[in-house]
A and B are shown apart, each in its own frame.
Chain A
Amino acid sequence: MPGTVQSIERAAAVLRLLAQSTRPLGVVEIAHALSLPKGTAHGIIRTLHTVGFVDQDDRSGRYLLGTQLVRLGGHQLDRNELRSCAMNWSDTLASRTGESVKVAVLDQPLQLTIVHHVFRPDDSVQVMEIGAVVPAHACALGKAILAHTPATAARLKEATLEAFTIRTVTDGRALLGQLSTVRERGWAADVEELSSGEASIAAAIRDHGGVVVGAVGITGAPRSVCDGGRNPRPRLAARVVETARAITGELTRRRE
């Protein structure tokens, strides 16, 4: 069994000390409190400052817990709450586009879970897909989220991705190229990349801090979702983007 890493133990002690303190602390104070050489304490604090876990008070030069650290342990969006916020807007999107609507969150680095599903409003028999797991790289919902997930680029660079149809993008670099387009225009699409006979358009949902927490999108037959050139219809994309914004607004209001 490997031993513990001393510098991480010391960094944890510094963070605990700052968390307990009612005011910012100086390097000497921290060194004394933890019986550390001043140089060691300074090195730990500078490192924690670089990664954003410690902030420095501008006026006094003393240190306090970083706002990023606070956010790290903060409230994570509950997926059932996301569904509850998305419900009215997803219904409206389905009725305005005539397509089925899904909301998904990223579960694993490249895997989505469907958290909400509104049937295509044609009263045909459809199966509830809430709880289903979907590969993120092969669908619009996944691309809308991956485009705004910082760790994605490194993960995709060398990756070979699984193919689900002949149109699935399996080359990581090619997918990264698509994701930069997604960021530019604000929505993602796939045309028969996950399943033949299905095309979809999706846009990212953000929480009150602007972090992407999921995506909402429509799925339908390629001929209804796309124009003659197999390009997603701009009118539908605009509706999807509008819906993502409305859900983002709802999430923000609930947190106020």
Chain B
Amino acid sequence: MRPEYVAAIDQGTTSTRCIVFDHAGRLVSVAQREHRQHFPRPGWVEHDAMEIWRNVERVVPQAIAQARVQPAQIAALGIANQRETVVLWERRTGRPVGNAITWQDTRTANLVDQLAADGGVDRFRERCGLPLMTYFSGPTLRWMLQQDPIVREKAERGELLFGTMETWLIWNLTGGPDGGLHITDVTNASRTMLMDITHLRWDEELLDAFGVPAAMLPQIRSNVEVYGTTTAALPGISIAAALGDQQAALFGQTCFSAGEAKCTYGTGAFLLLNTGPTPVRSSHGLLSTVGYQVGEDEPTYALEGSIAVTGSLVQWVRDRLGLIESAPEIETLARTVDDNGGCYSVPAFSGLFAPHWRSEARGLIIGLTSYITKGHLARAILEATAWQTREVVDAMNADSGLALTGLKVDGGMTSDHLLMQTIADVLDVPVERPLVSETVSLGAAYAAGLAVGFWPELKGLRHHWHRAARWMPEMSARRREREYGNWQRAVSRTYDWIQIEDEDGPEV
């Protein structure tokens, strides 16, 4: 049977999906399962890695069945994943050591402060491209190893394995304790703070600084190559790509030339700008990261602006405040009023990410008067995502010396029409959505398809990109400046909120 499709797993922060694409890059079927979010303490956010693996075992066969295709028609499998989330597990049994600690978790705040005391938050930036933040895997891994001397001993003896989600999934997909492959890819490795971003290898000095034994680390591979063949979930399929979800979206949006950028709106939002074959060091609070590497080719680098809380703010309004029943209803609520009524919300739930990087900041809702209704609050909630995008775009323009002339967007929140219009308004550039908004999965599928020759070359993938929607700016310059000023004043009031911390994190 001739292979006609490529499958992609998108292991995200809130759910795990499998999507099947055809040769034209068109979506054929989707299967999805959400997993639980564990919040054992304020600021702690964990996932059960076994639950996620079970979800993969379910959604992959489901998506194939829904597409009404035979497994033999699947040319390859690509994986995109939530980045920086750390899993530790036993090599012999495959059992995870505790829950996976996610990228949103702020438990390493004190540890990061201690590490920054000697040389500042940028002490490793030259080597790994990243500032010291709770967000990245290195500090999390160090915290896990410090918690329990037995864990450290086992790690040093090579009995415990470290991985981000793609590592955990590939290991399980290729046999687990029975010969499972222990590998990661350059994009995920570039988010650990443990990899030399220029030479793309684990760096001894960085491993020393974080106290990480080399025995527990996966092998670093390119994004586009056949790693192995599945023995579980859907046996016999080539695993031919792995990328961090945001790099996958950059790939899916076919941003293959320096200067091209995309922003993905999901739980958080991530703006990535392709900067070509050398890493660009940011002086405006952005991250240097690997964009992608095709097989033996030179890597392509990217500048990244990460916004921690966008979609998760809407989920918070749904699940914690109970103002809406489903996330899309935020738009319905926001449309009950014409403007924000003077209300602003800054969702610094885990501190502020790019371009501020203030881990001691916490969220606020400001401008409250008796006039404010839940409709105004819904406006403020949506506008927070738009203004955070504006701040990152300003930083990118400053770093690259170029002015962004349009923004390619994707992700679940692009179904929010009011939000997309607001983003066009505050950026004052057109905002465009491609025909396949599932660019994370599409990017993983493209990469896997390239590796097995299902698609012959990178540039040809551009022909699959079509504009599905475009929002043009409509806001007056005067109003834009006034609102931006208000937003910036709101942001400045989130600073310095967390002050006294002990070993266990903030007092609550």
Contact = CB atoms under 8 A, between A and B. Distances in A.
B30 A118 contact: no
Interface stretch (A2-10, A59-67, A77-85): A77-85
Interface string B430-464: 00000111100000000000000000000000000
Contacts of A84: 326-328, 412, 415-416
B435 A94 contact: yes
A95 to B, nearest CB: 5
Contact of A81 (B27, B329, B414, B436): B329
Interface residues of B, number: 28
Contact of A88 (B329, B438, B467): B438
B328 to A, nearest CB: 4
A213 to B, nearest CB: 14
Nearest to B436: A91
A118 B468 contact: yes
A91 B435 contact: yes
B325 interface: yes
Interface in A60-113: 75, 78-81, 83-84, 87-88, 91-92, 94-96
A80 B328 contact: yes
Given A75-B325, A80-B331, A123 B415 contact: no
Nearest to A125: B470
Contact of A91 (B330, B332, B437, B471): B437
A212 to B, nearest CB: 20
B467 A83 contact: no
A117 B435 CA distance: 11
A119 interface: yes
Given A78-B332, A80-B331, A123 B467 contact: yes
Interface in A102-138: 117-119, 121-123, 126, 128, 130-131
Contact of B417 (A75, A83, A88): A83
A130 B417 contact: yes
Contact of A83 (B24, B415, B471): B415
Given A83-B415, A83-B417, A94 B468 contact: yes
Contact of B469 (A80, A88, A92, A119): A119
Nearest to A75: B325
A117 B436 CA distance: 14
B38 interface: no
Nearest to A83: B415
B466 interface: yes
A254 B412 CA distance: 15
B331 A88 contact: no
Interface residues of A, number: 25
A233 to B, nearest CB: 19
A81 B325 CA distance: 10
A128 B471 contact: yes
Given A91-B27, A91-B435, A118-B468, A78 B415 contact: no
Interface in B407-434: 412, 414-417
A92 B326 CA distance: 24
B466 A96 contact: no
A121 B332 contact: no
Contact of B470 (A81, A92, A128): A128
Nearest to A95: B26
Contacts of B417: 80, 83, 130-131
Contacts of B26: 92, 95-96
A122 B467 CA distance: 8
Contacts of B470: 119, 126, 128
Nearest to A101: B468
Nearest to B19: A88
Nearest to B413: A84
A95 B332 contact: no
A87 B437 contact: yes
Interface string B369-412: 00000000000000000000000000000000000000000001
A33 B412 CA distance: 53
Contact of B332 (A75, A79, A126, A131): A79
B462 to A, nearest CB: 11
Contacts of B436: 91, 95
A88 B326 contact: no
Interface of A: 75, 78-81, 83-84, 87-88, 91-92, 94-96, 117-119, 121-123, 126, 128, 130-131, 254
21 contacts: A75-B325, A78-B325, A80-B328, A81-B329, A83-B328, A83-B417, A84-B326, A87-B437, A88-B30, A88-B438, A92-B26, A92-B28, A95-B24, A95-B26, A95-B466, A118-B469, A121-B435, A121-B467, A128-B471, A130-B417, A254-B326
Interface of B: 24, 26-28, 30, 325-332, 412, 414-417, 435-438, 466-471
Given A95-B466, A121-B467, 8 more contacts: A84-B326, A84-B328, A87-B415, A92-B28, A121-B435, A128-B469, A130-B417, A131-B417
The 3 lowest CB-CB distance pairs between A and B, nearest first, are A121-B466, A80-B328, A81-B328
